[in-house]
Amino acid sequence: MSQPAQENKMGIMPENKLLLNMALPMIASMLIQACYNVVDSYFVSKLSEDALNAVSLAFPVQNLMIAVAVGTGVGINALLSRSLGQKDFERANHTAMNGLLLEIISGLVFTFLGLALARTYYIIQTDIPGIVDYGTDYLTIVAGCSMGIFLSVTCERLVQATGRTVYAMVIQGVGSVINIILDPILIFGLFGFPRLEVAGAAVATVAGQIIGGLVGLYLSLTHNPEIQMSWKGLKPRKEIVSGIYSVGLPSIIMQSIGSVMVFGMNQILIAFTSTATAVFGIYFKLQSFVFMPVFGMNNGMVPIVAYNYGAQKPDRILKTVKLAIGYAVGIMVVGFALFQLFPDVFIGLFEAEGEDAGDLLAIGVPALRIISVHFLVAGVSVVSMSVFQALGHGVLSLTVSVIRQLVVLLPVSFVLSRVGGLHAIWWAFPVAEVFAVILCCLFLSQVYKEEVAPMKNNVSGAENA
């Protein structure tokens, strides 16, 4: 079968135009994702604070599923883009199919764990019956039907790797819109549907993921000609699997650390009051409106950097990274301003009907203002870690993540909880981010010297020869 010979746009389009072309659809889809995350909790909060806490406490498990799906997808994306940049189309095809196989296996593992251990997970954290019952219903469905998220993430990465980020936006957008529509219908039993409460939120979530995954599979098979997918490609190839996980595994571990961090923070906070864990859950929903656009831009940046690394074009790599950091910092500054100016409005969205929101506001308003201080520098570390992954240095991203969340954030939170009480805990986030940015700057310098500078010398030598 003939393979495309024309140069991909990632190797020739002007860098700023290319980054925006790649990133804007992903930013749009990420904002839709953030919207449905907030809508999910918004409707659940109208049931009771126990219901909101149940969904918030499920976050570490959901984050773990996303970590495995997205981490594997990062490995697929990096290897696939690099293969295309090197014009190795056979390896690109095998990467796509082996990646799909790995995601399917991962989904089956979480399906088993969700069906078997959901209630145990909640009993470990709390003895409040309402939270345990609501949480068991929610997590059994979300984890037990997790195949949808693994399929949709894989297909998003396949189209991103070839520069078709509009299709990635469609995949995620379809799933998110379906979730948003179904949430109130299934939670409150509208239009003749049964009132499922928290379970309804879970059903809406997995329905959106499954339909989005099916749309993604269709687009990958019919509208992504640079990748030829076939059943025989599902046969595992050791070099492909190891290539995916050389980048993907550190990314999986890095994002999984977020689950450990959230679990640990919940234990520190719930010792004061369950309202504090509700506030922490609300923060994670709200901060997605700030971080998701940056993640969307990163998703557009990674294949550009990986492609041009494979194509030996260092100047395009450097300019793309500088542009990405500039955009990320700008987005984060806007987020900081909003969290400083309107924290009471944001927290007030999650007031349960018939309940006193005084405690929620008293804890939540200072929490949002303090935590958001770290937005001012976080853009640098978020982009830097994606650059490390794109260039095959996932261990550096992992190192930054471990130090920020486990070595600094959790211990500092614990110490501050003992020294300054509940409100002091939130200062651990700015402290941890400063450490992360310092490390990222040191690692960026190292990667430049080891990877990009030699490439520039090689290119200069070839031009002078």
Of residues 60 and 463, more confidence is placed in 60
CA-CA-CA-CA dihedral for 322, 326, 329, 333, to nearest 10: 170
Q: What is the mean pLDDT of the chain?
A: 86
Of residues 2 and 338, more confidence is placed in 338
Answer yes or no: is pLDDT of 84 > 90.
no
Q: Report the pLDDT value the prediction gives residue 310, as an integer from 0 to 100.
A: 77
pLDDT tens readout for residues 213-237: 999 999 988 888 888 777 776 788 8
pLDDT band at 2 (very low <50, low <70, confident <90, very high): very low
Which of 229, 398, 387 has the alpha carbon at shortest distance from 299?
387
Which of 44, 110, 31, 13 has the alpha carbon at shortest distance from 308?
13
pLDDT tens readout for residues 290-306: 998 898 888 788 888 88
Say which residue the tokens 């976080």 belong to: 378
pLDDT tens readout for residues 182-214: 999 999 999 999 999 999 999 999 999 999 999
Q: Report the pLDDT value the prediction gives residue 464, as an integer from 0 to 100.
A: 52
DSSP secondary structure of 349-394:
TTPPTTS--HHHHHHHHHHHHHHGGGHHHHHHHHHHHHHHHHTT-H
d(CA 209, CA 174): 9
Q: Report the pLDDT value the prediction gives residue 463, as an integer from 0 to 100.
A: 53
Q: Report the pLDDT value the prediction gives residue 185, as an integer from 0 to 100.
A: 96
pLDDT tens readout for residues 429-440: 999 999 999 999
- Neighbour count for residue 1 (Cβ, 10 Å): 6
Q: Report the pLDDT value the prediction gives residue 7, as an integer from 0 to 100.
A: 59
Mean pLDDT value of segment 12-30: 81
DSSP secondary structure of 130-160:
HHHHHHHHHHHHHHHTTHHHHHHHHHHHHHH
Q: Report the pLDDT value the prediction gives residue 246, as an integer from 0 to 100.
A: 82
pTM value is: 0.75
Q: Report the pLDDT value the prediction gives residue 1, as an integer from 0 to 100.
A: 42
b/e for 80-114, b at 16 or more Cβ within 10 A? bbbbbbeeebebbbbbbbbbbbbbeebbeebbebb
Q: Report the pLDDT value the prediction gives residue 264, as an integer from 0 to 100.
A: 93
Pick the range with the lowest mean pLDDT from 160-164, 227-231, 293-297, 353-357. 353-357
d(CA 339, CA 432): 19
- Neighbour count for residue 450 (Cβ, 10 Å): 11
Answer yes or no: is pLDDT of 391 > 50.
yes
